[in-house]
Amino acid sequence: PSLTDVIPEMDLIDEQLATSALDPALDPAIRVAVSLGKRSINHYYNKSDESAAYRIAMVLDPRSKLQYFREQAWLDEWITEARTLVRKAYDEDWKDH
């Protein structure tokens, strides 16, 4: 998988875990384990915010650009920040080449 696949895949896993954690058909011990798994994945998902690379990669990916963020109902300020990160990286690293 590529860097651009990480966030969407983590979103998918998080959604599946959230659904399973609330599923009354599952044994309570399983639901607790699923909730702990969700907490773990959210810990690493939050770490992705510390790296601009994920957002830059997604914005530059022609398959998604900013559309994925919009479809996931990211706040406008987060989308603006992703766009700003790309512009800043371009200005600092590639503009003069």
* Average pLDDT over all residues of the chain: 92
pTM score: 0.76
**Residue 87 — very low, low, confident or very high, per pLDDT cuts 50/70/90?**
very high
Q: What is the pLDDT of residue 6?
A: 87
Segment 25-45 shows an average pLDDT of 96
Predicted local distance difference test score (pLDDT) of residue 94: 83
Question: Considering only CA atoms, which of 94, 36, 8 is closest in space to residue 28?
Answer: 36
* Predicted local distance difference test score (pLDDT) of residue 95: 80
Exposure class string for 27-42: b at 16+ Cβ within 10 A, else e:
eeeebeebeebbeeee
Tally Cβ neighbours within 10 Å of residue 57: 18
